[in-house]
Every structure is written in structure tokens, then in C-alpha cells.
Amino acid sequence: MDGKNKEALKEIERLTAKADEVQENILKEILTQNSATEYLIKYMKGSKNMLEFKQSVPVITYKAIRPYIQRIANGEDSSLITSHPITEMIRSSGTSEGKPKFLPSIEEDLDRNMFFISLITPIMNQYVPGVDEGKHMYFFFVNKEISAPCGLPVRTASSRLLQSKHFKRQARDPSNDNNTSPYQAILCSDISQSLYCQILAGLIHRHQVQRLGAAFASILLQVISVLERNWVRFCNDIRTGQLDLMITDLECRSCMSTLLSSPDPCFANEIENICSRASWKGILCQLWPRAKFIETVITGSMAQYIPALEFYSDEKLPLVSNVYASSECFLGVNLKPLCDPSDVAYTLLPNMGYFEFIPLGEDGTMLMNVGEEDDVPNDKLVDLVQVRLGCYYELVVTTFAGLYRYRVGDVLQVIGFHNRAPQFRYICRRNVILSLDTEKTNEEDLQKSINVAKKLLEPYNVLLVDYTSYADASTMPGHYVLYWEILFHGSSKADDQLANIAALDEKMLQECCIAVEEELDFKYRICRTHNKSVGPLEIRVVEPGTFEELMDFFIDQGASINQYKTPRCIKPEGALKLLNSHVKASFFSPRDPKAATPTIVDSTNVYNVIM
């Protein structure tokens, strides 16, 4: 192991061994630097005392900080919340009241995040020696930037990293070209062209690739789906040495032309032989025979993709879920990257921000006793080193960039310690019920969308009796499924109801599908229309009485009839089976939902609309 890797591991040991001291120093530093901000003066009257902070500064959600962020976006000084100049706004995939969240970021956040990223390879090297040799086929994407009214750039945390000077320098250094994707292809904000070129480059380097990955498992499956639909094209490009004319981006064409310098029919035939097999089981190992593992987040909502990844790798490549990060703050790393997917734990790095925790339950019982927007008494929170094994917590962060006691919304369970730093299993995002890619749909969003669609049924004398939903990840791409039980007014006989379902107006239900989609938040619509990572929404109409049977099912499983509420999202397989066995008709959205432009339109007006 080289000196740089050893240093990184030593630093992890130091930070985790002194987690309490590191955390205390972080909070002291934040308070010293930011005590004169309008936000902290309001609660601490200029004090820099940590006890005062804990007693007086409220635990908040995005709603409370949004007005400050909005003022800064409109041109007021960063000193409203931080002593450092805010250099950009980070757009999170989370939403608040259906609108995207924008989080403040300062210059030094980039160094903190680069430090975080620099730990990944040294950790991996302990388990897979020589991991930094050979090539990585890691799919990166950059979203088109928009600007806040004051001119500050607004982008995602990953776009920021990829467009940073540091990354650019690395990417342009010919001695450091260990990623298969050409930098120009990564920077192309037309996702389909970027993806096409990145896959083609990965195929061209197939014999050198040692690790393959993408930020989230859903992205990797999208890669496979594009490959499945386009392998003939890829082979053709390699065979002729000419890039498909569908790629019109000049930068992409220029970087790919160096890779496709001459026709190579032999190599094209090799790939064609593999891709034309009847089953794609294990295709990843066949196309990239030297790959040692797959690097991608497979925890939380991404766990639903594990079976598909296991299928495409024939269970021969370990799935490595190595980072836990958010737009607010990069959070934790997995110190045992080759562990079983069900044992993945993230050790929060105590120097990334100041962490506190809202206790949710004791001894492994998760009591969601604090609502998403409930006031949390200041003295309820516990520090990083005070969390207890087996217990569940909601994460609260305080950052240098102006978030104070901010509820990230993630529910975590302590499953171990590394030195003094706790290791957390990621349980869920509070209240998110459907998520296939980076979109996160909560119960409220879904309900609002259903209410709009429901109105379309009224003129037909049709009533929506009950509904639930399911994120179907078995299709490519995954799509939302709504189970609807509907009632036709004026006819109570079951036979009539069934006959009416059979005669349902397809257009009416298709209109309902699209109405739901157009009411879902902008991130969903981006995934649907721009990223194509979510497919058309489906409504499955079930026969009368199905939801009663569903209730019986849950009561049989131990639910209390007094507390029973139809779950708005179905996870247990038994319940799904039950619902599917009662489906009488199924309808899909006939087109892409409208108004999903914020990431692709470069204008301050757009920013105003989405703020």
C-alpha cells in the first residue's frame, strides 16, 4: 500500500478515535465563525457558547431556512446565515412542499468533499489490493446549470464536484486517465448522448476495466437497459470506426473519434457474440471480464435493485455500497466495503459537519414518534458519540455553510462502532414512499396528485374508493404502479361493477395517469422525461372488495384494526400478490408529462418558478 493510502487510513483512525473531540471542535469553529450571522444572532444573541447553542437554537426543517436561502438567492448577503461567501446553491433531490430544495454551499465545502472522496480508494485497497490499477468504468453525469436571480450557480453536489478545478485537472492529466469515460462526454448535459458515449468508451476498454459503477444502482440498470437496446449500434460504431450520427454534440464526437480511431471488426464481433446471447444473466462479467466488483449505492430505496444487479453479474461481483452523502453535507463511508448488502453500515466522519440525532426508538424498535414537521424539543437530541447500539435516530446536521440543527430527514440505526464513531444502517428517508431513481415521492405528494386525477372521474359518475401504490423496479426503466378500486355510481351489483370495469374508457384512465404524473414533483418529471430513468405511470384497476381483503391481509399479519389505514405504498410480497390477483384492467400514461424543464433551461426565471 502506498504512502498516500496509508495516510488516508491513519486519518480515518484518528478521526474516529477522537470522534467526540473532533465534533466539539467542529461545533466550536462553526459558532466562532458564524456567531454574527443574522440567523444565529436571532437565537444566541452573539454568544458562541455550545451549551447556549443546544438550548436556544431550534431544530428545523427546510421550511424554516428557506426564507433566508431565498433572500440570499435574491441578492442579499450570505452573512444572513454564514460568515463565508456562499458560492453556489446545491440542488437536492429532496423536495419541500413539492418544490426542490436549494442548499447553501461555500468554497471550502469542496475541499471537505474532495477529502471524503479521497478515502474511498484507500479503504477499498485494503480488501482488493491493486484496486487503483486498471480502469474504472464509472458513469458520471452533469446537469445543466441554472442561476439564482443573484447570479449564483445552482447545481447538484455531484455536478459541482465534476466541474471543479480539481476534477478537471485530474481528468485532463494523461497520466491519470483511469476512468473509461472521456471527460467531455461526462460534461455533456444531454444525458442520452453522454450515456451513449460513456457506454461505448466502456466497451472499447472492456479488457482493462477492474471496477464498474455509478452513484446509484438505478443508474447502472439504466446503463444496462441502454446497452440492451443499442448494442447493435455500439458494435457497428466499433466495426466501422465511426460514431453513430445520433451523437451530435461536438465535444462528444471529438473525444470519441480518438477512441474509435480505426475500424475493428474483430473486436465488434466479440461484443456482438456476447450481447446476442439469449440470456443476459452474467452479462457484466462477460463484457468486462476483469471487473472485480460493482461500486454503487444499494441501500435504502436502491435495495430494490439488488436482485437485478445480481442477475446481470450472475452473483459473481460483490456489490460495494461505499458512500452515504447528501447535498447538505457528505456524511459517511463504508469501512467494510465487501460486506453483504444487508450488513452495509456507514461510519459518519466526524469532521464533515456537526451531527446530532433525534431518538426514534429503543432497542431495535423503530417508533416513529416524531412527525416530519413536529417541533422537536431542543434537549431531546443526542450527540454523535452518545447514540446507542440498536437504536434508531433521525439525523440532524449543522454545517459551516449556514444550516443549523437541520433535519436531513434520514432515519438511521446504529449497528456498531468504529473506535468511538458510530456505524449506521440506512433505514429510510422519512415519509418517502416511492423512489426509483433520484426522485423521492412522499405520501403527501402522491395524495395531492391522486386528488387531481380523481376529479377527472367525476363527470363519468365514477368514484375512487381506495388506492395504493408500488414502485415497480422489475421493468426497465422502473415505473410507478397505482392500484385503484373504483365504484360506478348507480349500480351496486358486483356483476355490473365488473362489466363496467371491462367497458372502462381507456382514454379516461390514461388521462388520470398523466394527470397524476403532471402533479408529481418536478424531480419525478425530470426522471420521466429528461433522464428517462422512470417509465410511464400505470393504473391497475382492481375488482370491488380488493381493499377490504388487503385490510384483512394486514390484520392477519398483526396490524391493529383500530389503527389500520390503507398503506399508501405496498412493499410486502404477499400484499402485492393479493392486489395483482385482483387486477381487472391496466392503463399507462400515453405521453411524457409536461413542465419538466428546470434542469435544462438556463434562466433565472426558471429559478423563480421553482423556488
- Is 300 among the residues that bind ligand AMP (CB under 6 A)? yes
**Least distance to ligand AMP, CB of residue 355, Å:** 13
Instruction: Count CB atoms within 10 A of the CB of residue 168.
Output: 13
Which of 22, 81, 84, 94 touches ligand AMP (CB under 6 A)? 94
* 95 and 445 Cβ atoms separated by less than 8 Å: yes
Q: Which residue has the cell 460483490?
A: 318
**Least distance to ligand AMP, CB of residue 446, Å:** 18
Q: Which is nearer to ligand AMP, 198 or 296 (by Cβ)?
A: 296
Q: Which helix (H) or strand (E) holds 102?
A: strand 99-106
**Least distance to ligand AMP, CB of residue 34, Å:** 22
Which stretch, 67-75, 86-94, 204-212, 472-480, contacts ligand AMP (CB under 6 A)?
Answer: 86-94
**Least distance to ligand AMP, CB of residue 526, Å:** 12
Count of residues that bind ligand AMP according to CB under 6 A: 16
Q: Which is nearer to ligand AMP, 211 or 429 (by Cβ)?
A: 429
The full DSSP string for 305-335 is GHHHHHHHTTT-S-EE--EEE-SS-EEEE-S
Q: Which residues contact 49 (CB under 8 A, 6 or more apart)?
A: 31
**Least distance to ligand AMP, CB of residue 113, Å:** 11
CA–CA dist 134, 129 (Å, integer) = 12
* 51 and 85 Cβ atoms separated by less than 8 Å: no
C-alpha cell at 41: 444572532
C-alpha cell at 598: 428546470
**Least distance to ligand AMP, CB of residue 296, Å:** 9
Long-range Cβ contacts of 571-579 (<8 Å, 24+ apart): 575/550, 576/470, 578/546, 578/549, 578/550, 578/553, 579/468, 579/470, 579/483, 579/540, 579/542, 579/546, 579/550
**Least distance to ligand AMP, CB of residue 100, Å:** 9
Instruction: Give the SS3 label for residue 223.
Output: helix
Site string for ligand AMP, 143-172 (x = CB under 6 A): --------------x---------------
Which stretch, 127-135, 282-290, 317-325, 361-369, contacts ligand AMP (CB under 6 A)?
Answer: 317-325
The full DSSP string for 283-312 is HHHHHSTT--EEEEE-SGGGGGGHHHHHHH
- Is 304 among the residues that bind ligand AMP (CB under 6 A)? no
CA–CA dist 120, 588 (Å, integer) = 42
Q: Which residue has the cell 434520514?
A: 410
Which stretch, 17-25, 226-234, 295-303, 377-385, contacts ligand AMP (CB under 6 A)?
Answer: 295-303
Q: Please, what is the Cα angle at 102 between 96 and 105, to 5 degrees?
A: 145
CA–CA dist 375, 392 (Å, integer) = 18
* 152 and 107 Cβ atoms separated by less than 8 Å: no
**Least distance to ligand AMP, CB of residue 424, Å:** 10
Q: Which is nearer to ligand AMP, 84 or 155 (by Cβ)?
A: 155
Q: Which is nearer to ligand AMP, 153 or 263 (by Cβ)?
A: 153
**Least distance to ligand AMP, CB of residue 527, Å:** 12
Which of 18, 112, 211, 429 touches ligand AMP (CB under 6 A)? 429
Which of 5, 35, 92, 125 touches ligand AMP (CB under 6 A)? 92
Q: Which is nearer to ligand AMP, 203 or 214 (by Cβ)?
A: 214
Which stretch, 92-100, 225-233, 379-387, 539-547, contacts ligand AMP (CB under 6 A)?
Answer: 92-100
C-alpha cell at 108: 471550502
Q: Which is nearer to ligand AMP, 397 or 516 (by Cβ)?
A: 397
Residue of 540, 572, 418 whose CA lies nearest to 17: 418
CA–CA dist 280, 604 (Å, integer) = 45
Site string for ligand AMP, 321-350 (x = CB under 6 A): x--xxxx-----------------------
Q: Which residue has the cell 390477483?
A: 581
Which stretch, 297-305, 354-362, 455-463, 593-601, contacts ligand AMP (CB under 6 A)?
Answer: 297-305
CA–CA dist 38, 384 (Å, integer) = 27
C-alpha cell at 470: 408500488
CA–CA dist 14, 8 (Å, integer) = 10
- Is 297 among the residues that bind ligand AMP (CB under 6 A)? yes
What is the phi/psi pair of residue 484, to 5°? -120, 130
Which of 26, 44, 247, 408 touches ligand AMP (CB under 6 A)? 408
Which of 139, 167, 312, 426 touches ligand AMP (CB under 6 A)? 426
Which stretch, 2-10, 183-191, 319-327, 547-555, contacts ligand AMP (CB under 6 A)?
Answer: 319-327
**Least distance to ligand AMP, CB of residue 517, Å:** 21
Which stretch, 76-84, 91-99, 181-189, 578-586, contacts ligand AMP (CB under 6 A)?
Answer: 91-99
Q: Which is nearer to ligand AMP, 82 or 159 (by Cβ)?
A: 159
- Is 93 among the residues that bind ligand AMP (CB under 6 A)? yes
C-alpha cell at 343: 450488513
- Is 142 among the residues that bind ligand AMP (CB under 6 A)? no
C-alpha cell at 73: 438567492
C-alpha cell at 376: 422537536
**Least distance to ligand AMP, CB of residue 323, Å:** 6
Residue of 115, 92, 118, 164 whose CA lies nearest to 353: 115
| N-term to C-term CA, the chain | 48
Q: Which helix (H) or strand (E) holds 110?
A: helix 107-118
Which stretch, 87-95, 146-154, 534-542, 584-592, contacts ligand AMP (CB under 6 A)?
Answer: 87-95
- Is 392 among the residues that bind ligand AMP (CB under 6 A)? no
**Least distance to ligand AMP, CB of residue 604, Å:** 22
**Least distance to ligand AMP, CB of residue 321, Å:** 6
Interface positions with ligand AMP (CB under 6 A): 92-94, 157, 297, 299-300, 321, 324-327, 408, 410, 426, 429
